[in-house]
Amino acid sequence: MSRKFVEKESHATKSIKKRWRMPRGKHSKVRQMHKGRPALPNVGYGKSILSRGQVDGLYPVLICCQGDLRGLDAQTDIIIIARAVGLRKRVELYTLAIKAGFKVHNVDPNIEKAAEKLLKDRKKAHADRVKRKTIVQKTEVKQSKKPAKKSEPKTKDSSSKTAKASSPAKKSEPKAEDSSSKTAKASSPAKKSEPKAEDSSSKTTKASSPAKKSEPKEPVKKEVAQNE
Q: Tell me the chain's radius of gyration from C-alpha atoms.
A: 60
Q: How confident is the model at residue 160 (pLDDT cuts 50, 70, 90)?
A: low
Average pLDDT over residues 55-77: 92
Whole-angstrom Cα distance, residue 77 to residue 102?
8
For residue 157, pLDDT over 60 is answered with: no
Whole-number pLDDT of residue 127: 92
Q: How confident is the model at residue 217 (pLDDT cuts 50, 70, 90)?
A: low
For residue 93, pLDDT over 90 is answered with: yes
Mean pLDDT of the chain: 76
Whole-number pLDDT of residue 162: 58
Distance separating the N- and C-terminal Cα atoms of the chain: 173
Whole-number pLDDT of residue 176: 47
With a pLDDT cut of 90, the percent of the chain lying above it is 39
Whole-number pLDDT of residue 99: 93
With a pLDDT cut of 70, the percent of the chain lying above it is 63
Average pLDDT over residues 117-126: 90
Residue 191: CA atoms inside 13 Å, Cβ hemisphere, count?
5
Q: How confident is the model at residue 159 (pLDDT cuts 50, 70, 90)?
A: low
Burial level of 132, CB count in 10 A (0-12/13-18/19+)?
exposed
Higher pLDDT, 73 or 206: 73
3-class secondary structure per residue, the chain: CCCCCCCCCCCCCCCCCCCCCCCCCCCCCCCCCCCCCCCCCCHHHCCCHHHCCCECCEEEEEECCHHHHCCCCCCCEEEEECCCCCHHHHHHHHHHHHHCCCCECCCCCCHHHHHHHHHHHHHHHHHHHHHHHHHHHHHHHHHHHHHHHCHHHHHHHHHHHHHHHHHHHHCHHHHHHHHHHHHHHHHHHHHHHHHHHHHHHHHHHHHHHHHHHCCCHHHHHHHHHHHC
For residue 104, pLDDT over 80 is answered with: yes
For residue 177, pLDDT over 70 is answered with: no
> pTM of this prediction?
0.45
Whole-number pLDDT of residue 3: 67
Most confident of the following: 42-51, 166-175, 213-222: 42-51
Higher pLDDT, 193 or 119: 119
Whole-number pLDDT of residue 193: 46
Whole-angstrom Cα distance, residue 204 to residue 130?
109
